[in-house]
Structure 1
Amino acid sequence: MTASITLPSPAKLNLFLHIVGQRPDGYHELQTLFQFLDYGDDITLTLTPDHPGVRLETPIPGVPDEDNLIIKAALALAQKAPRDPPGVSIALKKRLPMGGGLGGGSSNAATTLLGLNHLWKLNLGLDELAEMGLALGADVPVFVRGHAAFGEGVGEKLTPAHPPEDWFLVLKPDCNINTGKIFSAQALTRDTPRINIAPAFEGDASRYRNDCENVVKTLYPEVSTSMEWLTQFGPARLTGTGACIFGRFPTESATRIIWESKPSGITGFVAKGVNVSPLHQKLTELK
């Protein structure tokens, strides 16, 4: 029987994102709080022993296979196998908007690494898989490790955290953010004071913000308009460099009532914040 598994590839939110400095190589030093959502893509991995190699059955429009993090992750993992592993066919069910700041591509890479580590029986540990993930992108390690975390450095230095598992309304304004444009903007704040411990959003929440937000709102009016609407119901914040924005609410019913009242033309979804990744929950069930 052909081995096949379908695994979740969840979204993440940056509950805050502070830029605390800039390194000589141009990369920005960050402090952020990552939390997963119980919403995301699905990836199906099917071993094909009679057909060696890695095949993506569902190419993403505008993304050549050689640039796709799913393919890159699978090929990187295959190099760790003691002998040529069985071929694999990979199918992606895409729900997360591209360029939304939700970590979709990084999550896809992490799901591929952990899923193939399981199917190919490589038994690589999370430390090694996270190191491989970092070579693919700064956000991949948090998805590999699978726990909400306080992130530092470029986002790869992770300390487990336990923010409240609230409900979120996530909106995707109709624009695509150029991350390079945001990080090179002269108006970007780059000197926010460092926080010494992973916060749990106790006390004054106004201490926490997304330092990219003002630049993004200025350059992309669609983000500003969506945020104005969502702010009617409570604080709204950008995730990553956007374009998605989110509001936090205590119950699913309250969140869905607000979702039903959204203006036409805005896409998005309702999801619950979770501190253990749905990917890790699924892999635990498979053991």
Structure 2
Amino acid sequence: MNARVDDAGWSWWPAPAKLNLFLHITGRRADGYHELQTVFRLLDWGDRIGLRLREDGQVRRQGDGLAGVAEADDLAVRAARMLKEAANVDQGVDIIVEKHVPAGGGFGGGSSDAATVLVVLNRLWGAGLDENALAALGLRLGADVPVFVRGHNAWAEGVGERLQPITLPQAWYVVVEPGVHVPTPLLFADPDLTRDSPQAKIEDFASGSLVGNVFEPVLRRREPAVEAVLAALSDIGTARLTGSGSGCFVEFDSQAAAEQGRAKLSKELRARVAAGVARSPLLDALEQH
């Protein structure tokens, strides 16, 4: 997906979705946050962000906005305002978030939107922040934002911010969002949530011994729609949950196999096929801009 500038002065940028190929909780910190281990996989599917610079210094959201999200709470708007303050930028920007990634599905849509705004406006405004500084700003917006800022598949620890790039084999995914959302704090507070998974290493993941998502049994019990989707996907492969959301997926080693798997599913599931990518489409767009 390439960046482009239209006749009205908008430049358009990709904000890719992600999958968590596994997700464990290994403990809880003194500040109440949980320690995680996971692998982030970036996809070729995602939102689009439109940006148009303003000379009056204002940061404004345009278009229809996000359903139920006030402009001041929109992560993309908050990212722009945070960068403007941190870098002491005089310019402003209009922002359009063209949503394709469903909210609450565990695909990182809002976090990716924020990361795209940070990375691109840093370039367009000439703010001059390096990747580490942008990732630190992103972490203030959400634990998933840094991986999108850095733009590479990663082994992650901490709350998800300690990242180590990881090389993953080419893969395609049948992805389904059941259309339900349980607030993350409720999931973390669930008494049945496993919070003491043993510490693992990248080698464990590479060997195939690291599987599962600690939120899956909790969501299966709380949400019949998640249970139903995972059961349906199990007919075409190993069904998994991503993040703490309700999104489910099955991995395939070829696009043809993924398409064949999707064709076996009921059309009511609204399944899609997405390709895993070696690095974020946003980095490619920046190089080509």
TM-score by length of 2: 0.93
Q: Percent identity between the aligned chains?
A: 44
Alignment of 1:183 onto 2:212: no
Distance 2:162 2:97 in 1: 28
Distance 1:145 1:283 in 2: 13
Q: Which runs of 5+ in 1 are unaligned?
A: none
Deviation at 1:254, TM superposition (A): 1.5
Q: Provide the alpha-carbon RMSD of the alignment.
A: 1.6
Give a deviation string over 1:160-196, Cα, whole Å, max 9, x none.
1112120001101131122111111111111111113
Matches within 5 A, 1:228-267: 228-267=231-270
Kept after mapping to 2: 8 A contact 1:18/1:31: yes
2:158 to 153, 159, 168: 153
Kept after mapping to 2: 8 A contact 1:163/1:200: no
Distance 1:56 1:172 in 2: 26
Alignment of 1:33 onto 2:39: yes
1:120 to 99, 108, 125: 125
Kept after mapping to 2: 8 A contact 1:4/1:46: yes
Distance 2:157 2:87 in 1: 31
The residue that corresponds to 1:137 in the other structure is 142
Alignment of 1:285 onto 2:288: yes
Matches within 5 A, 1:169-208: 169-196=174-201, 198-199=202-203, 201-203=205-207, 205-208=208-211
Kept after mapping to 1: 8 A contact 2:20/2:41: yes
> Which range moves more in the overlay, 249-258 or 28-37?
249-258
Distance 1:206 1:226, change over 3 A: farther
Kept after mapping to 1: 8 A contact 2:59/2:80: yes
Distance 1:154 1:83 in 2: 30
Alignment of 1:76 onto 2:76: no
Alignment of 1:215 onto 2:218: yes
The residue that corresponds to 1:13 in the other structure is 19
The residue that corresponds to 2:170 in the other structure is 165
Q: Which runs of 5+ in 2 are unaligned?
A: 1-6
Distance 2:72 2:89 in 1: 23
Q: The residue matched to 2:288 in structure 1 has which SS?
A: helix
Q: The residue matched to 1:274 in structure 2 has which SS?
A: coil
| Count of matched residue positions in the alignment of Structure 1 and Structure 2 | 282
Kept after mapping to 2: 8 A contact 1:14/1:239: yes
Q: The residue matched to 2:47 in structure 1 has which SS?
A: strand
Q: The residue matched to 1:117 in structure 2 has which SS?
A: helix
Distance 2:205 2:233 in 1: 20
The residue that corresponds to 2:228 in the other structure is 225
